[in-house]
Amino acid sequence: MPLGALQHYTIEPSDLEVTRSFYCDVLGLENGDRPPLGFPGYWLYSGGVATVHLLGDRQPREGIVVRGTKKKFEDTGRFDHIAFAATDIEGVRARLKAKNVKFREQIVPRTGAAQIFLYDPDGIGVELNFPAP
């Protein structure tokens, strides 16, 4: 069965509100409609698609729970980073600086595309890809 486009990824943040604020206020995603799932959380939208799902505290349930909300991890396991297509590098750079978010930049060899790399509040890498001028 071939895979389609990525629908979303889900994070169990150590602080739901801090992480929501990071993805909305720093990266510009929009908090949007979410079904009443019986536990706190957010669906954050990019271009009209609920790309990032944040899970709040919930009771243990049947099935697989990959990471419990009480356990802390020193790293993100095998999960390395999330990449977003982005525009307006000057505006993004200004927003990150205004929010005191540390980041690094690079230009992709051969293509000339720009990249900004940063971390979310739980240490998950975020890559922002800007098209070449």
- What is the rounded CA–CA span in Å between residue 28 and residue 40? 21
CATH class of 9-58+79-130: alpha beta
A 10 A CB-CB count for 69 gives 16
Predicted TM-score (pTM) of the model is: 0.71
- The SS3 of residue 91 is helix
pLDDT tens sequence across 90-132: 999 999 999 999 999 999 888 999 999 998 888 888 888 899 9
pLDDT tens sequence across 10-59: 888 888 999 999 999 999 999 999 988 778 899 999 989 999 888 887 65
